[in-house]
């Protein structure tokens, strides 16, 4: 995984982020450096690499300007295990609620499923072979008695010859996809995964880990059950079963722990909500408690997970918050020191909004065009219509509440609601709809003028 070609350069990372996030260049630049530095660290010769700490980042910016989006896309670009947690959801150790270590356990879970997918892909061919054989076994069970062959390896026993020939005929049919609806018996494991009542309980996984293992140990192992289903459905289950046989789970665990340790990204949202704002009483004390709990994890410690011990020293932490009511300096000094890189995200302007509407790979206009495209209706937006939508969204942000680019979602859905309702009953296939500036004004300007109304609707 360490080949340089797999790792993007800072500029390449920014270029990837640019496909989805408009503006916020400072934030993009800093996350790209942090990401590249991890590759650099892993390639440092000698012991110094262990000393090099990640450039944890504190992102400051009001709601809906792209903080979460940047972190999420970064993880995708890096193909790194990623978890997003809300600082305000944690409670101090000793109180009921999620303890901070659970974020590391979640990260490892993420890592495990990534590695599993990888390994699955590696044994794909072998798995397909085994699955095909298993399906054939279910269709035409092989004969129990041992075949007798002559010196040339031909069957003397005609039953076997017949059985083998039938199997081959079915194999061909199977490959041609002619048998997908045929029903076969499949043995399904029943107690795979967690026991329901534990998964649903509010008690944290950490404290329950051992209990779960104990209970599993007491229960009769592997209850399995035969079920009838179509070959098409059975294949999905068999692929899981057969690939599990081919994958060494201990290896998966080892690799997953390494991946989490060296490439994991933990995004801690709403960090401002645990800043104490200076006072030393009541809720503030417990917020400070959460910060104190966070400290060792961000600083580097060993966390027990059911897949092994995970060292957090080189996990990249990105914290984010609006910091409207508190300041970064309200965080306890030790924690501040652990987020050496501060980036401020800019408020988005109506010009940004227009670009956000049109340009990103997942832009809203593209999404709506695709939705109606599925009904064979061609939707398009005039340039001046986009200007108008952007201006209106920005105005509402200024007057009602600034929710950043999220405003575009509410405005667009209000604008297009009737249209989405009329297709295909009133507006049939092959229609072409062009959203014009006039249309935008007609549907939205009334709302913008009426502040009370827009508070509820937009």
Ligand X SMILES: Nc1ncnc2c1ncn2[C@@H]1O[C@H](COP(=O)(O)OP(=O)(O)OP(=O)(O)O)[C@@H](O)[C@H]1O
Q: Using CB under 5 A as the criterion, which residues of the chain lie in contact with Mg ion when the complex forms?
A: 68
- Whether 195 and 170 have beta carbons less than 8 Å apart is answered as no
Nearer to ligand X, 271 or 310 (CB): 271
By CB under 6 A, tell whether 67 contacts ligand X.
Answer: yes
Q: Per the annotation, does 406 bind a ligand? A: yes
Q: Residue 21 CB, nearest distance to Mg ion (Å)?
A: 13
The packing angle between helices 364-373 and 350-358, to 10°, is 30
Q: Which does 242 bind (CB under 5 to 8 A by kind): Mg ion, ligand X, none?
A: none
Nearest to 320 by CA among 266, 369, 276, 246: 266
Q: Alpha-carbon distance 134 to 238, whole Å?
A: 8
Q: Per the annotation, does 65 bind a ligand? A: yes
Q: Per the annotation, does 127 bind a ligand? A: no
Nearer to Mg ion, 25 or 68 (CB): 68
Q: Is the dihedral of CA 237, 242, 246, 248 positive or negative?
A: positive
Q: Residue 272 CB, nearest distance to Mg ion (Å)?
A: 12
Nearer to ligand X, 74 or 130 (CB): 74
In sequence order, what DSSP letters do the residues of 304-337 get, joined into one string? EETTEEEE-TT-EEEEEE--SSS-GGGS-HHHHH
Q: Alpha-carbon distance 233 to 406, whole Å?
A: 39
| Chain centroid to CA 8 | 20
By CB under 6 A, tell whether 397 contacts ligand X.
Answer: no
Applying CB under 6 A, among 66, 81, 264, 289 the residue interacting with ligand X is 66
Tell me the Cα Rg of the chain.
Answer: 29
Q: Could you tell me which stretch among 220-228, 327-335, 385-393, 398-406 binds ligand X (CB under 6 A)?
A: 398-406
Q: Which does 406 bind (CB under 5 to 8 A by kind): ligand X, Mg ion, none?
A: ligand X
Q: Could you tell me which stretch among 56-64, 154-162, 325-333, 410-418 binds ligand X (CB under 6 A)?
A: 56-64
> Total residues at the site for ligand X (CB under 6 A)?
19
Helices (H) and strands (E) in the chain, counts: 19, 11
Q: Which does 66 bind (CB under 5 to 8 A by kind): ligand X, Mg ion, none?
A: ligand X
Q: Residue 342 CB, nearest distance to ligand X (Å)?
A: 15
Nearer to ligand X, 64 or 264 (CB): 64
Nearest to 287 by CA among 126, 95, 85: 95
Q: 353 Cβ partners below 8 Å, 6+ apart? A: 389, 390, 393, 394, 405, 407, 408
Q: Alpha-carbon distance 288 to 42, whole Å?
A: 34
Q: Per the annotation, does 40 bind a ligand? A: no
> Which residues, in sequence order, are bridge partners of residue 141?
none
By CB under 6 A, tell whether 22 contacts ligand X.
Answer: yes
Nearer to ligand X, 80 or 87 (CB): 87
Q: Could you tell me which stretch among 20-28, 95-103, 223-231, 415-423 binds ligand X (CB under 6 A)?
A: 20-28
Q: Which does 338 bind (CB under 5 to 8 A by kind): ligand X, Mg ion, none?
A: none
Q: Per the annotation, does 269 bind a ligand? A: yes
Query: What does the chain come to in residues?
Result: 458
Nearest to 273 by CA among 38, 88, 29: 88
Q: Alpha-carbon distance 413 to 449, whole Å?
A: 18
Q: Residue 445 CB, nearest distance to Mg ion (Å)?
A: 30
Q: Per the annotation, does 159 bind a ligand? A: no
Applying CB under 6 A, among 114, 259, 356, 379 the residue interacting with ligand X is 356
Q: Per the annotation, does 334 bind a ligand? A: yes
Nearest to 458 by CA among 413, 411, 417: 411
Nearer to ligand X, 61 or 81 (CB): 61
Q: Could you tell me which stretch among 22-30, 45-53, 253-261, 387-395 binds ligand X (CB under 6 A)?
A: 22-30
Q: Alpha-carbon distance 404 to 407, whole Å?
A: 6
By CB under 6 A, tell whether 405 contacts ligand X.
Answer: yes
Q: Alpha-carbon distance 458 to 440, whole Å?
A: 14
By CB under 6 A, tell whether 322 contacts ligand X.
Answer: yes
By CB under 6 A, tell whether 289 contacts ligand X.
Answer: no
Nearer to ligand X, 63 or 212 (CB): 63
Q: Residue 67 CB, nearest distance to Mg ion (Å)?
A: 5
Nearer to ligand X, 64 or 289 (CB): 64
Q: Per the annotation, does 66 bind a ligand? A: yes
By CB under 6 A, tell whether 360 contacts ligand X.
Answer: yes
User: Dihedrals φ, ψ of 4, to 5°?
Assistant: -60, -30
Applying CB under 6 A, among 160, 351, 406, 414 the residue interacting with ligand X is 406
Burial of 74 (C-beta count, 10 Å sphere; 0-12/13-18/19+): buried
The count of other CB atoms within 10 Å of the CB of residue 236 is 11
User: Dihedrals φ, ψ of 271, to 5°?
Assistant: -65, -25
Q: Enter the tokens of residue 64.
A: 């809906």
Q: Which does 88 bind (CB under 5 to 8 A by kind): Mg ion, ligand X, none?
A: none
Applying CB under 6 A, among 31, 55, 404, 447 the residue interacting with ligand X is 404
Binding residue positions: 22, 64-69, 269, 334, 406
What residue ranges bind ligand X (CB under 6 A)? 21-24, 61, 63-69, 269, 322, 356, 360, 404-406
């Amino acid at each position: 995984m360490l080949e340089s070609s797999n790792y993007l350069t800072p500029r390449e990372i920014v270029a990837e982020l640019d496909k989805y996030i408009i503006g916020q260049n400072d934030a993009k630049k800093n996350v790209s450096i942090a990401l590249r530095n991890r590759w650099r660290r892993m390639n440092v010769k000698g012991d110094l690499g262990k000393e090099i700490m990640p450039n944890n980042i504190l992102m400051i910016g009001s709601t809906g300007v792209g903080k979460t989006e940047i972190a999420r896309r970064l993880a995708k670009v890096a193909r790194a295990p990623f978890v997003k947690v809300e600082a305000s959801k944690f409670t101090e150790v000793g109180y009921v609620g999620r303890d901070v270590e659970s974020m590391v356990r979640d990260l490892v879970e993420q890592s495990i499923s990534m590695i599993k997918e990888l390994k699955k892909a590696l044994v794909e061919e072998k798995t397909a072979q085994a699955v095909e054989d298993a399906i054939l076994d279910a269709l035409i069970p092989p004969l129990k008695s041992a075949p007798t062959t002559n010196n040339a390896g031909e069957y003397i026993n005609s039953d076997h010859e017949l059985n083998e020939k039938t199997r081959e005929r079915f194999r061909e049919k199977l490959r041609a996809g002619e048998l997908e609806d045929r029903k076969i018996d499949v043995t399904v494991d029943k107690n795979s995964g967690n026991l329901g009542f534990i998964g649903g309980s509010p008690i944290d996984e950490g404290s329950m880990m051992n209990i779960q293992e104990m209970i599993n140990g007491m229960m009769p192992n592997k209850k399995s059950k035969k079920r009838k289903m179509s070959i098409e459905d059975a294949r999905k289950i068999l692929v899981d079963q057969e690939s599990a046989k081919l994958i060494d789970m201990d290896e998966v665990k080892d690799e997953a722990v390494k991946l989490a340790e060296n490439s994991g990204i933990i995004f801690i949202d709403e960090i401002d909500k645990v800043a104490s704002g200076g006072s030393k009483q009541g809720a503030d004390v417990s917020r400070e408690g959460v910060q104190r709990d966070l400290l060792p994890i961000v600083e580097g410690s060993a966390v027990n997970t059911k897949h092994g011990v995970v060292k957090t020293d080189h996990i990249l932490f990105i914290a984010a918050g609006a910091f409207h009511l508190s300041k970064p300096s309200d965080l306890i000094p030790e924690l501040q020191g652990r987020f050496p890189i501060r980036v401020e995200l800019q408020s988005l302007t109506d010009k940004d909004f227009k670009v956000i509407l049109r340009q990103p790979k997942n832009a809203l206009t593209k999404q709506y065009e695709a939705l109606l495209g599925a009904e064979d209706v061609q939707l398009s937006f005039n340039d001046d219509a986009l200007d108008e939508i952007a201006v209106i969204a920005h105005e509402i942000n200024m007057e009602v509440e600034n929710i950043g680019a999220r405003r575009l979602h509410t405005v667009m859905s209000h604008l297009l609601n009737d249209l989405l309702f009329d297709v295909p009953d009133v507006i049939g296939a092959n229609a072409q709809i062009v959203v014009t500036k006039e249309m935008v004004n007609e549907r939205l300007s009334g709302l913008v003028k009426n502040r009370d109304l827009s508070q509820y609707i937009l």
